[in-house]
Amino acid sequence: MAVTVLLATALLANAATLSVADTPTREWSDVTHQEVAFEELTAGQPEAAIAKIEANGGVASRDPAALINLGNAHARLGRTEKALEYYSAAIASDVRYDLELADGRWLDSRQAARMARDSLLKRGAQALRQ
């Protein structure tokens, strides 16, 4: 099973947000399919997303999709440092697979994590300039 990534652009913030869906779309073998709290994130419930993903324990600590969504949830709560830790963990994870973007393109999970990290850093730099 695999994971789908929804890439939505926040026009006002001029930044991309990645949310990883738990819809199986492609085969991958290193990590079993798990709940990555896509519904909670898209519903604007980052605390619920964190609780759901953390309930997966050890699997969530290696799975890039879970790590990216933990980063997204913390970013939405304004916890930039924590979000960056999760994005960095997804980049460094020994588990790696392709994620499908909303536009149908496939992207390596490490590239998706880098995109989320870079977007967060860009938003932070823009906020400092204002």
Tens of pLDDT, residues 40-98: 998 999 999 999 999 987 667 889 999 999 999 999 999 999 999 999 999 999 999 99
Give pTM, 2 decimals. Answer: 0.74
Q: How many domains does the chain have?
A: 1
Containing domain of residue 56, as a range? 3-129
The helix (run of H) or strand (run of E) holding residue 47 is helix 46-54
Hunting for tokens 């997204």 — which residue is that?
A: 72
The helix (run of H) or strand (run of E) holding residue 98 is strand 98-100
Specify the pLDDT at position 61. 80
Domain with 22 in it: what CATH number? Answer: 1.25.40
Rounded to whole angstroms, the Cα distance separating 24 from 37 reads: 14
CA distances from 24 to 21, 57, 100, 112 (A): 8, 20, 10, 17
Specify the pLDDT at position 81. 97
* Residue 119 structure tokens: 């977007």
**47-70 burial code (b ≥16 CB/10 A, e <16):** eebbebbeebeeebeebbbbbbbb
Average pLDDT over residues 97-122: 88
Rounded to whole angstroms, the Cα distance separating 6 from 100 reads: 8
Specify the pLDDT at position 7. 36
Q: Closest Cα to residue 37, out of 9, 62, 72, 83?
A: 72
